[in-house]
Structure 1
Amino acid sequence: MSFKTKEKEAVGVPISESWEIDFQDDFDTFNTENWQDQRIWVNNETHCYVPDNKYGTREVSDGTLKLKVINTGAQKPCDNFDKNGVQHPDTQYVAGRITTKNKHEFIKGKWTARLRLSSNGEPSMFPAWWLLGAENNESPVQEANENVCWPLTGSGEIDIFEHHGDHQKNHYTTGAIKSLGECDKGDWWSLRKGFDVSLNEYHEYSVEWENSDLVYRVDAKEVYRNVGQGDQYPEKMFAILNFAKITDAPMKGEWVMEVAWVKHEFRK
């Protein structure tokens, strides 16, 4: 018996309920076997997601990932399209968005990211760490079964961390999106709750499936629970990290979400 197993027994943790890591990225580099850039226009976002480091919107340095929104100072064409094939208008803002889609997708378990913001509470600011069902039919469609519209089963959404800078400074929201049974119809707020936290300091934000519940934690401490909602997300899900700008409010400097690591675990 290993020392860790003895330690778990000593504190009364059932061995069958221990967690084992099956995916982790510590961002020593940008690993294309783990992530892909995602160019997509959603939520009327006012920036353009760019797929490389031309503007520095997705940077890995000093052991962390930096996702940014940057004001380029001049209107430029954007090659992002929405789900109806409409192209994003010219914009002076560029941003970073990455996903584990078709790289690492898991059924249930526990997802955790350790992250911080360089600044927060600014109008239009919208960084997020979240999950989406692997059969989602939004770009990039890369496999035959990616044909389910949001937020139906197969394309369900769980938001682990979202900061709405328009509302409060050191505050974020967490929770699942409740499907209303039709394409593009979801209840954003009935399963969500907000919490105060020091956003410019590192914290670990996670969601785990605990029997039929979805349990949300900050630094391993439970802050919220969607009772009975875990069974609504039986599908494989992939992770997304992005920093969005969602209104035309003026932007000061650049915004940065810094991510130390991301991992997925399953119960042994």
Structure 2
Amino acid sequence: GRYLQVTALGNAKDITGEMPFVPEVIATAIQFLRKYKALGTPELFRKSVSLSLMEELKKQLNKGLTLRTFLQRYREPGESEFMLLACLIKHYCSALAEPVFTVEVTKQIIVAQESRNTSQEEKLLLFQRYFQLLPTTNRYFLATLLPFLKEVADAQVSAGADGCMNADNLGIVFAPSTMYIPDDPTFGVTSATKAFSIMIKNAKFFPAETSLPFPSVKTEPQQGIHPKLRPRNISDPPTPPPRRRILPTPQKS
């Protein structure tokens, strides 16, 4: 599960041993940024790195080199290396052939976020319910990514530096590559961004596994919602997810 070209969340293996179902590329990048206390680095996840540097890293990973091995060359990593790993995490999310929030779940989340008759507390409950509809591998991936982004947001706010990447700004960065409709990627983009930010702020409520029942939440049907985004019945109990559904292999860079 370490190659960018062939890794699918369904067969991902975290060789770090701490993050099941999370690709080594993501697990190692997160560990590295935590280890070197880089989460408060100004404009982390906002700044880009040189295209040649990113292409060289992708080339090495696609040859079979693990990210952990690649990073051994950096004895005293600094801002450049931190930005490179942040860009790599973003690239991995956007390279997946299907968004990690599946199309059906994305539609339901956007409808809930756009509902004017649903309180913020009720929206959070709906997001939790829809989150559990995701395939197991997707949930484990997001249950690793969301708490990490919460740590980043908290560190950024504490640092108080210019270009603070708080939860709202991280939502702007990550929602377009994780929570969108491939056939119409601009549809509901503002609502998706807000929903993703809410999930970052409440990351502890989105575990990979839960045995707790979700309270019933009633919502009124919304007028003027695009047909593509209208769920079958948002107030009905959720439909169980497909048993063996996994994300497709990421597209080649």
| Structure with greater strand share of residues | 1
Length-normalised TM-score, structure 1: 0.27
Length-normalised TM-score, structure 2: 0.28
| Structure with greater helix share of residues | 2
